[in-house]
Amino acid sequence: MRRVLRAAYIVWVALRYGLDELVLTSFQHPGLRLFARIASIGRDLSAPRGQRLREALQKLGPIFVKFGQVLSTRRDLLPADLADELALLQDRVPPFPGGEAIASIERAFRRPIGELFTSFEREPVASASIAQVHFATLVDKNGREREAAVKVLRPGMLKVIDQDLALIRMMAGWVERLAPDGKRLKPREVVAEFDKYLHDELDLVREAASAAQLRRNMADLGLVLIPEMFWDLIRPEVMVMERMKGVPISQVERLREAGVDIPKLARDGVTIFFTQVFRDGFFHADMHPGNIMVSVDPATFGRYISLDFGIVGTLTEYDKEYLAQNFTAFFRRDYKRVAELHVESGWVPGDTRIDELESAIRSVCEPYFDRPLKDISLGMVLMRLFQTSRRFNVEIQPQLVLLQKTLLNIEGLGRELDPELDLWSTAKPFLERWMLDQVGPKRLWRELRQQAPYYARMLPDLPRLWHEYLRQHTREAPDAELRLLLAEQRRTNRLLQALLYGAIGFVLGLIVMQILVRVLLF
């Protein structure tokens, strides 16, 4: 019954904000367009379609707001006006009572709150659609009193999310069957992607593990602080971590008054992001100003403080190579290489004409070069490439879309801090270093180390296998077979000599290539 009532409410909201008109006018059939005009009589639908969609999602509640936020990152699928409007969605949700938070914590640990913490603040300091945060103090394993932040999921969220997701899946199926671009938009795949992100956010153990990984990766960089996790107090619905103190990065004047070097802060943010992407292949994918503070403590002055690790992105070596080569080719204006990379990636159909794709990419990218490098947005470049590729049926990978969204966030943040920030000059060293690692002896040595356990297991068996082979074949045909084996052994020896000389030549070639790349590549 509740599901029926929820579906009726969704229909009512859709009619109130004219979402039926938005869908029907997307069809080319004149009858449906006429029906849409008739159905809109008596309703005020003068507001832009993007605004109406945003307001409808806000009316439907936190889950639909979250869905709109995820959908806003898929600029490769949505028209620009809808994506821009959905990007304005904010999940401002009233907090739930502190008593409910305490009950959830006690239920998770099966212990009274007083045994877990020496003090616990009932009033939350932050509240969102999925969880809220309370401050507390506790005694750690070493007997020291520590300040902590306790993140608690909203009670009953999983049931609500599953109900709304079932309805969203149903609507996605309708869109796929009825909309003219339904199959290209892949609404069910988008909903599945949203389902994954949302359930990942509902598992706070996963979030804590992501935070620990980022903390370990960033330890040697000295530019960012990530809270320590108290693993004895981590459960799927409760996460207890070190309390971080700092100034929100959006309060630029306070940071200036504290003596923070703002231009350096902007460069450090870009350095952190590109280190996570091109060095680690594991990056914080929700780096908006609400999740970032700056330390003003003398011991860690001027460092970033990163919070909320519910969404992280991962990149394979192949993804990193695709990105690095795309950016490098773009700044060289080598549009043919950009087109070839799209085809080589396998995301473009094999029968795509390179010259047509090259021309389309050129028409999008060339206007950027009338601007100084500091005014060029790498995030916008990536987004334009995705949008251009849409007409060529490119299959854009979710991890790259997540990266593009994060890159736009970082660029926007960096240029708010320092309008003169030259993103390319900051990114270039990482791309250079990564490209050199791919063609140099480091890559060869890394591959050899990875294969070493296999060879270590295989080599001790070779003499025994060789002896058994000789003995068996010698028994069968002592003379003829032996002569053949001796001849084969001589050929094998010559082959091994050739391989040895080839390997020496290969290593020498790598050294020469390394020198040439350093001199000529950039």
The three-class DSSP label of residue 137 is: strand
> What are the structure tokens assigned to 274, written together?
């590109």
- Rounded to whole angstroms, the Cα distance separating 449 from 356 reads 43
> What are the structure tokens assigned to 56, written together?
């409808």
Contact 75, 379 (CB under 8 A): no
> What are the structure tokens assigned to 135, written together?
């401050």
Supply angle C-alpha 472, 473, 475, rounded to 5.
Answer: 70
Closest CA to 53 of 65, 70, 39, 36: 65
Residues 6+ apart with CB under 8 A from 234: 204, 205, 208, 240
Q: How far is CA 89 from the centre of its chain?
A: 19
Q: How far is CA 467 from the centre of its chain?
A: 53
Helix (H) or strand (E) holding 306: strand 304-306
Contact 324, 288 (CB under 8 A): no
Closest CA to 338 of 397, 72, 352: 352
- Rounded to whole angstroms, the Cα distance separating 276 from 223 reads 12
> What are the structure tokens assigned to 300, written together?
């860690």
The three-class DSSP label of residue 345 is: coil
- Rounded to whole angstroms, the Cα distance separating 450 from 57 reads 49
Q: Is position 437 annotated as part of the catalytic site?
A: no
Cβ neighbours of 3 (radius 10 Å): 11
Q: Which of 76, 164, 268, 286 is catalytic?
A: 286
Could you give the residue numbers annotated as active site?
Answer: 286
